[in-house]
Amino acid sequence: MSASVQAHIFYSGMVQGVGFRYTVVRFTQGRPLSGWVRNLPDGRVEVLVEGERAQVDTLTQNVEDHFKTQITDKKISYAPAQAQFRDFRIVR
């Protein structure tokens, strides 16, 4: 079993108004991932997700494959997981 990580991700581009947050939540279902996703006032989407690195990487790859024409930039940073979330949800 690999160590759990926390990934903090910012997606830019045409990422609001296209079902981005709901799709991220859908991609986390059935996976041992927790955290949240939200729209930012500047047009970006912010994701904070915790889980095994392989699961987090699969999530980001699925999101990027699904929205490949909408995402123009991604910033991601990793830290040790804090185990502070029980599920994955949309927050405001």
Residues known to be catalytic? 21, 39
What the block records as the tokens of 56 is: 């987090």
Alpha helices in 1-92 (DSSP H): 20-28, 53-66
CA angle in degrees (0–180, nearest 5) for 54-55-56:
90
